[in-house]
Structure 1
């Protein structure tokens, strides 16, 4: 079939834009392989807006719990409303997290309370940038996950054309940088979009003509351009059978009927079977955590019709479904990290909500973790002495969480990690033995 020259050139330009950064010059260093050469994988969900850590994982030590209720007379949960945390007496958790109890008791879900960084900033823009670049002060624009991809190589040979993806609409800063990370809500439907929609026959003909040009044996100044083109088509071919609408989860897993549920299900779909995809890093956003007003219904704290309850319910059921869908064997090589830019004020405001605070909560799910609730007991930053007079303080630097994952799970050594999280001195957190 004949394709108009103008149509062909527009498609060619669009394709080169999609993958032009994938071949950027870099000094990549090899990493350790997973067991049997299996690719280690990392899913990162960012809770946009600042999740309320203090209502998500609540201290029920007598002294701290009384302080909590005094700070939150209508926003704070009773101990009976909270769900027990298996093998832990210092904390109870938000009732929406109850589906996670089995993961905790099985040692497959850890939580790190009181997470932050020096001179914490309560600005969404600034704090999200710090968490995503892993550099408080934001001296680099590239994201920590992109720098991980830049400074490492896949254990697969040949190296896959794409090692990281973002499931959503806009790429987060954490995944931005020198290495190309494609973005889509459904990677199985990525197409060359030229002059509007093409029927299947014309699209196939167009792709074949472009493919033939990129496959020419050409050397010289255009090597990188042609290499990029070949990578683009390899990526499109590999993604072709990963249409989310056709996905059937395994092991009876049921994902929530929500945007997050769909995105986490698609992450599972994209991470199954190292060959041919070989994806190592997936990023997903969940918005809505800026709960200044109406965070709860004071007359019914456990109502699912309130924002915070709905968000955490969606998150917990998505994570449980992901674990069930992937199965314990696959999860031995996967970590699922949940972070947010800051916690909320220790005390409630006058609108049944909470304002921007400091100490945050991170969650880590997967076979490599050990089911610990970190920073309770003697490490807890007391509610009797609030950080800057308003906030739960912080104990664990978020960069230590990133470092522990990249070091103990993804297999980077400390020297290579200095290129990913520059200027940081790692202090072990303890959620990966």
Structure 2
């Protein structure tokens, strides 16, 4: 039985993309329609996180191309920054690291010092299980399986606002990601075009009929309006009355017609609507490249092209909102230094990540990547983790969201944040 108190405490109203017919229940639409359609939330700073699920090969995305050990370890996968043959060459970033040619959309941002790359990043837990590594990274506690909340949900709790909007923390996914589990309001929206209403955290919400809401509303309508506040219904009305299906990105931007491109397009819409979005989450899948990884063409090239092109479409679409947004990627671990017998790479340790922001100290590849001789590799096979992911995530969250309690954000960590963001 869902109590009124439980309904209010669970975050009031939330949107969940489950594709049910009927859209917003009539009683909610009535209440929303009675509220003036005015922009009630002032513009917020927003952190957008993209999880690359499957473990991206950081050594191919950003290659230390002068390393002869790496070249020997990857006889058919190694790429050079030298112009030779018919294939594309790496984009030389600094004389040591080369950006994969399919990520050429990133090059202007790197040169303009608005893109930073952290190499050798990963978890101190050496598991090579996708499920476990993702869980540890999203919980932010790499040696504690019992952590109930995700680090982004804890970040929401540290924002210090008197009241949250229904859109403070949004994941454009079919289900709430581990990063946003917890007691603080957060919501998954599969598609802005087709949504229904559900309480955040209610495991049976996807199958809950509108009648259940109506029954609850009949009993608690006045209190519900009082406790959830006018702002919730204003935000509902904003989304309901916006023609999201026919959204036109700014500057003639064309997003890739991919899952990630469509997710970032919807996040851009929410940012521009000024509905109070502060934490956004999206996913990019297909990074588990055990077979036929390819070089300048193939699975990996398509993935990094989608990542960089989607992020840059989103960035260019933001226009005047760029100063308020930081985008950060993450992946559970990297790939082996040596290629395998099927033209791919297996589960490894460290990878790299990308941070795009007008406030980042960009134009640099951060991290400690030593020559990949056997004695410098973890277990004789992997790029070792030299930058704990928490040292990056904490700095980005602290500076972008103006929070400063790393004991809550990453409770078992006593490290030092990597100084990436400008004051």
Among 99, 104, 112, the alignment partner of 2:110 is 104
- Structure 1: state its 5+ residue gaps: 1-11, 24-36
Contact 2:171 2:281 (C-alpha < 8 Å) held by counterparts:
yes
The alignment status of 1:293 with 2:291, answered yes or no, reads yes
Change (3 A) 1:45 1:178: same
How far off its partner does 1:214 sit?
4.5
Q: Describe how 1:325-344 pairs up with structure 2 within 5 A.
A: 325-327=317-319, 329-344=320-335
The alignment status of 1:419 with 2:411, answered yes or no, reads no
Among 340, 347, 360, the alignment partner of 1:349 is 340
For the residue of structure 1 that corresponds to 2:313, the secondary structure is helix
Contact 1:186 1:244 (C-alpha < 8 Å) held by counterparts:
no
The alignment status of 1:180 with 2:185, answered yes or no, reads yes
Q: Which residue of 2 aligns with 1:71?
A: 73
Contact 1:42 1:334 (C-alpha < 8 Å) held by counterparts:
yes
Q: Which residue of 2 aligns with 1:141?
A: 148
CA distance in 2, matches of 1:44, 1:130: 16
CA distance in 1, matches of 2:104, 2:421: 23
Computed over aligned residues only, the root mean square deviation of the Cα atoms, in angstroms, reads 3.2
Q: Describe how 1:141-290 pairs up with structure 2 within 5 A.
A: 141-154=148-161, 159-191=164-196, 214-216=220-222, 218=223, 227-228=227-228, 233-242=233-242, 244-274=244-274, 277-290=275-288
Q: Which residue of 2 aligns with 1:404?
A: 395
CA distance in 1, matches of 2:213, 2:193: 16
Contact 2:117 2:366 (C-alpha < 8 Å) held by counterparts:
no
CA distance in 1, matches of 2:251, 2:207: 40
Q: How many residues align?
A: 380
How far off its partner does 1:381 sit?
2.7
How far off its partner does 1:77 sit?
1.4
Normalising by structure 2, we get a TM-score of 0.81
Q: Which residue of 1 aligns with 2:296?
A: 302
CA distance in 1, matches of 2:207, 2:180: 29
How far off its partner does 1:255 sit?
0.5
Residues 335-371 of structure 1 deviation map (CA, whole Å, 9 limit, x = unaligned): 1010000000001000111000001111101111122
Q: Describe how 1:45-56 pairs up with structure 2 within 5 A.
A: 45-56=50-61
How far off its partner does 1:197 sit?
12
Residues 90-125 of structure 1 deviation map (CA, whole Å, 9 limit, x = unaligned): 111111111111111111111101002324211111
CA distance in 1, matches of 2:124, 2:52: 21
Change (3 A) 1:207 1:140: closer
- Structure 2: state its 5+ residue gaps: 13-41, 199-204
Normalising by structure 1, we get a TM-score of 0.79
For the residue of structure 2 that corresponds to 1:89, the secondary structure is coil
How far off its partner does 1:52 sit?
0.4
Q: Which residue of 2 aligns with 1:5?
A: none
Q: Which residue of 1 aligns with 2:417?
A: 428
Q: Which residue of 2 aligns with 1:22?
A: 11
